[in-house]
Amino acid sequence: MPWRWFVEHQTPYTSIIYKVKRIIYSGRTKYQQVDIIETYDLGLCLVLDGKVQSSTKDEWIYHESLVHPTLFTHPKPKNVLVIGGGEGATVREVLKHGCVEKVTMVDIDSEVVELSKMYLREMCDEVFEEPRLELIFGDGRRFIEESDRIFDVIVIDVTDPLSGGPSYLLYTKEFYEKLYKRLSGYGLVVTQATSTFYSLDCFSAIHNTLSKVFNIVRAAHVWVPSYASTWGFVIGSKKGDPTELDEEYLEKEIRDRNVENLRFYTPKTHKSLFILPPHIERRLKEEKKIIRDDQPIFMPA
Ligand code: SAM
């Protein structure tokens, strides 16, 4: 049988190829191309518009780094909003916090969720059957614009900002200003912020844009093998500072909130996420770009 290869373009000049064991699903939804493939080195992969979103071999590195530093910075998060999060792993991590009473997940693409339930149970487990979960299918930006609900933490886990893609208007100053009003007094937001290697300009623009809306903004990144890159996160906070949490507090909160089955996140890795090399620190300081609705930023496709 001729070998199949999946080619992921990081930039117009760099691509990564994975030998494919099995193509489990391939189709176009109303919003994006969806491929679910089994590879030799990454296990099962969810691929949207040609970009690996999650792979069973290492998705927990990304999802634990995305969720726990921010949730632990809030003293007692009860009401959490996840925008995007299709395959369910982000909600899985949020639900690990015993203090969380309700998670609302808003994803634009119901087919991605249905396909994840069908083929990616290794990632979503029983999340979609959890009574604490409210699942809404719709555009995350419109939800924020039309909702009068208040959340303790908002996690933005949408696809990278691609020209013509469904998510680029969730990286703008106007969106962050609307989102700010949906957060409680101690509220925080965290967003996936693309690669700190292949799209450092995008990462630093997201950081700079959030810093125009929140008075505490912190940048983090972690190596994610299936992204073949260090992957960035940016946290905006009304009061708490994730870089000021000490190991003792985190050990206690992990116990008190009964957070179990952590495979990457620990009080030590929490600290490591916020240690950025000098060239990235310098770039964040010098960044002038503010992402706006009429001046969006796009990842190199
Ligand atoms: N962790 C992945 C990453 O780093 O790119 C993203 C996780 S998840 C698969 C991305 C989800 O964002 C998809 O399920 C997609 O349907 C959803 N999405 C994209 N644009 C959206 C929008 N405007 N509103 C809500 N969900 C959106």
Looking at the predicted structure, is the pLDDT value of residue 70 above 60? yes
133: three-class secondary structure by DSSP: strand
Residue with token string 């706006």? 292
CATH code, 126: 3.40.50.150
| The predicted structure's pLDDT at residue 209 | 98
Asked, for residue 301, whether it belongs to a domain, the answer is no
Asked, for residue 267, whether it belongs to a domain, the answer is yes
234: three-class secondary structure by DSSP: strand
Q: How many CA atoms lie within 13 A of 253 on its CB side?
A: 24
- In this structure, the answer to whether residues 36 and 73 fall within a common structural domain is no
Looking at the predicted structure, is the pLDDT value of residue 29 above 80? yes
| The predicted structure's pLDDT at residue 3 | 66
Domain boundary among 16, 35, 55: 55
CA angle, 7 then 13 then 19, to 5°: 20
Task: Indicate which atom in ligand 1 lies nearest the CA of residue 86.
Answer: 14
Average pLDDT in the 260-269 region? 98
Looking at the predicted structure, is the pLDDT value of residue 1 above 70? no
- In this structure, the answer to whether residues 63 and 50 fall within a common structural domain is no
- In this structure, the answer to whether residues 21 and 127 fall within a common structural domain is no
Say which of 41, 157, 246, 294 is annotated catalytic.
Answer: 157
Looking at the predicted structure, is the pLDDT value of residue 280 above 80? yes
Q: Structurally, how many domains does the chain consist of?
A: 2
> Is the CB–ligand 1 distance for residue 85 below 6 Å?
yes
Burial track 196-208 (b if 16+ CB lie within 10 A, e otherwise):
bbbbbebbbbbbb
CATH code, 30: 2.30.140.10
- In this structure, the answer to whether residues 84 and 121 fall within a common structural domain is yes
- In this structure, the answer to whether residues 12 and 160 fall within a common structural domain is no
> Is the CB–ligand 1 distance for residue 232 below 6 Å?
no
Instruction: Indicate the pLDDT class of residue 301, thresholds 50, 70 and 90.
Output: low
Looking at the predicted structure, is the pLDDT value of residue 18 above 70? yes
Task: Indicate which atom in ligand 1 lies nearest the CA of residue 192.
Answer: 4
Asked, for residue 296, whether it belongs to a domain, the answer is no
- Please name the residue ranges forming H helices in the chain: 59-73, 89-94, 110-119, 121-124, 140-146, 173-180, 200-211, 247-256, 267-273, 278-286
Q: Any catalytic annotation for residue 256?
A: no
Task: Indicate which atom in ligand 1 lies nearest the CA of residue 62.
Answer: 1
Q: Domain span at residue 196?
A: 59-286
CA pair distance 69, 61, nearest whole angstrom? 12
Secondary element (H or E) of residue 19: strand 14-28
Instruction: Indicate the pLDDT class of residue 299, thresholds 50, 70 and 90.
Output: confident
| Burial of 269 (C-beta count, 10 Å sphere; 0-12/13-18/19+) | middle
